């Protein structure tokens, strides 16, 4: 009997992603195969496609590999022992965290699995497992799987991965009730961070972005002040709102160098600077600001450790929403168009969905 086939978006190298027919994965012991419901296009996917050095100079990406790490789906095939191993049944709606931890390094052994030394991420290294831009996907035994309520809207379920990252980032800011918080960048992650930061009830929540459509969304998600840095001196405005001191917490989610340098100017002495973005190139800054001038608490934020259940709960309780964030749906075969649309400021989050056009007809 010939092996079953499926459609997938396969990364072969920079600017070389191809829609192909490949073998459908098979579930081994303690493994699952899920039918993909949707997979989002992330800014890191665009940067990987464009050839950004952090992905290809190492090389971190091991092509060919099916792209995509913002996925969820339905349990289709269950390998021997996998039902008990993951606590799932056929037909369950599930998501796997984007990292597949090795379980053996010092970080995994100490519970800090998101910093795993081997650091395999779905959609970038085929030796572990292909990503979610496909009709089906294999979930290996060492993946971290979470069940999603069956009645959760597709668009909400599709943002669980980035929302988990947003929650971790906001938590790293340690926001207090009397803090003035700035979120720089109102892309999909920045807008989710805005919703989560609003739940922390800071004294004032400020969002900075040049796209007016996204600033309008940020206002609906709880931002007290929105700033277009191309029309207003953002540093001066934030200082005017804080008696000249600057913000208490600055979350960098722009992915461009000015987001860093702006933040170092804007934040007060002894403030907390949280860096989330994936940059396409190196960024330079005056490090004397961090130490000698302001003694800043500089914190990184990576992935969504221990926050997937929180993300699922917030969505289930309608405290966070995908409305206004998920803007476009495309069939897998329309990858090229979906990629272009995802770069537009009015398109916040673009989803790839297997057989979407046929299902919509």
Q: Phi first, then psi: give them for residue 130, nearest 5 degrees.
A: -70, 165
What domain range includes position 39?
Answer: 5-159+322-360
Q: Are 17 and 133 in contact (CB under 8 A)?
A: no
Q: What is the pLDDT of residue 2?
A: 53
Residues 6+ apart with CB under 8 A from 286: 261, 264
Q: Is residue 274 part of a domain?
A: yes
Q: Is residue 309 part of a domain?
A: no
How far is 35 from 102, CA to CA, in rounded Å?
A: 24
Q: Phi first, then psi: give them for residue 198, nearest 5 degrees.
A: -60, -35
CATH number of the domain that residue 347 is part of: 3.90.180.10
Q: Give yes or no: residues 177 and 150 share one domain.
A: no
Q: Are 327 and 217 in contact (CB under 8 A)?
A: no
Q: Is residue 345 part of a domain?
A: yes
**Sign of the torsion angle spanned by Cα atoms 180, 185, 186, 190:** negative
Q: Give yes or no: residues 41 and 148 share one domain.
A: yes
Q: Give yes or no: residues 185 and 273 share one domain.
A: yes
Q: Give yes or no: residues 266 and 338 share one domain.
A: no
Q: What is the pLDDT along the chain (361 residues), one digit of tens a residue?
A: 357 999 999 999 999 999 999 999 999 999 999 999 999 999 889 989 998 887 887 778 888 999 999 999 999 999 999 999 999 999 999 999 999 999 999 999 999 999 999 999 999 987 777 999 999 999 999 999 999 999 999 999 999 999 999 999 999 999 999 999 999 999 999 999 999 999 999 999 999 999 999 999 999 999 999 999 999 999 999 999 999 999 999 999 999 999 999 999 999 999 999 999 988 778 899 999 999 999 999 999 999 999 999 999 999 999 999 999 999 999 999 999 999 999 887 778 999 999 886 444 4
Q: Give yes or no: residues 122 and 57 share one domain.
A: yes
Q: Give yes or no: residues 92 and 155 share one domain.
A: yes
Q: Is residue 289 part of a domain?
A: yes
Q: Is residue 310 part of a domain?
A: no
CATH number of the domain that residue 252 is part of: 3.40.50.720
Q: Give yes or no: residues 36 and 142 share one domain.
A: yes
Q: Give yes or no: residues 152 and 173 share one domain.
A: no
Cis geometry, peptide bond prior to residue 64 (ω within 30 degrees of 0): yes
Q: Is residue 107 part of a domain?
A: yes
Q: Give yes or no: residues 242 and 128 share one domain.
A: no
Q: What is the pLDDT of residue 358?
A: 42
Q: Give yes or no: residues 25 and 77 share one domain.
A: yes
Number of independent structural domains in the chain: 2
Q: Are 74 and 157 in contact (CB under 8 A)?
A: no
Q: ∠ CA(121), CA(126), CA(129), 5° rounding? A: 65
Q: Give yes or no: residues 344 and 252 share one domain.
A: no
Provide the Cα torsion 59, 62, 64, 66; round to 10°. -120
88: number of Cβ within 10 Å: 20
Q: Is residue 307 part of a domain?
A: no
How far is 336 from 315, CA to CA, in rounded Å?
A: 30
User: Got the DSSP string for 185-249?
Assistant: --SHHHHHHHHHHHHT--SEEEEE-S-HHHHHHHHHTT-SEEE-TTTS-HHHHHHHTTTTS-EEE
Q: Give yes or no: residues 181 and 146 share one domain.
A: no
Strands ordered across the beta sheet of 204-208: 225-227, 204-208, 180-184, 247-252, 267-275, 297-300
Q: Is residue 306 part of a domain?
A: no
């Amino acid at each position: 009997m010939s092996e079953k086939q499926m459609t997938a978006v396969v990364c072969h190298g920079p600017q070389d992603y191809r829609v192909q027919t490949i073998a459908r994965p098979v579930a081994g012991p303690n493994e699952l195969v899920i039918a993909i419901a949707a997979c989002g296009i992330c800014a890191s996917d665009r940067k990987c496609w464009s050839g950004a050095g952090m992905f290809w100079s190492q090389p971190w990406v091991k092509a060919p590999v099916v792209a995509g790490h913002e996925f969820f789906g339905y349990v289709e095939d269950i390998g021997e022992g996998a039902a008990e191993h993951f606590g799932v049944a056929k037909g369950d709606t599930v998501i796997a965290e984007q990292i597949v931890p090795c379980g053996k390094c010092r970080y995994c052994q100490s519970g800090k699995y998101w910093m795993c030394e081997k650091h395999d991420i779905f959609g970038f290294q085929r030796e572990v497992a292909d990503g979610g831009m496909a009709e089906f996907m294999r979930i290996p035994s060492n993946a971290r799987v979470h069940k999603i309520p069956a009645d959760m809207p597709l668009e909400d379920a599709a943002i669980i991965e980035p929302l988990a990252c947003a929650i971790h980032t906001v938590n790293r800011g340690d926001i207090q009730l009397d803090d003035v918080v700035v979120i720089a960048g109102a892309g999909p992650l920045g807008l989710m961070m805005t919703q989560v930061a609003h739940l922390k009830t800071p004294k004032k929540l400020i969002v900075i972005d040049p796209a007016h459509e996204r600033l309008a969304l940020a206002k609906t998600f709880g931002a007290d002040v929105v700033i277009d840095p191309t029309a207003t001196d953002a540093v001066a405005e934030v200082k005017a709102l804080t008696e000249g001191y600057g913000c208490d917490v600055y979350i960098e989610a722009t992915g461009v160098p000015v987001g860093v340098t702006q933040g170092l100017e804007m934040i007060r002495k002894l403030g907390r600077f949280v860096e989330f973005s994936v940059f396409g190139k190196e960024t330079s800054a005056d490090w004397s600001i961090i130490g000698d001038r302001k003694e800043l608490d500089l914190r990184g934020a990576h992935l969504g450790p221990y926050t997937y259940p929180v993300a699922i709960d917030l969505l289930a309780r309608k405290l966070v929403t995908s409305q206004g964030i998920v803007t476009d749906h495309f069939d897998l075969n329309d990858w090229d168009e979906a990629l272009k649309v995802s770069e537009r400021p009015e398109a916040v989050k673009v989803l790839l969905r297997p057989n979407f056009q046929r299902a919509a007809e």
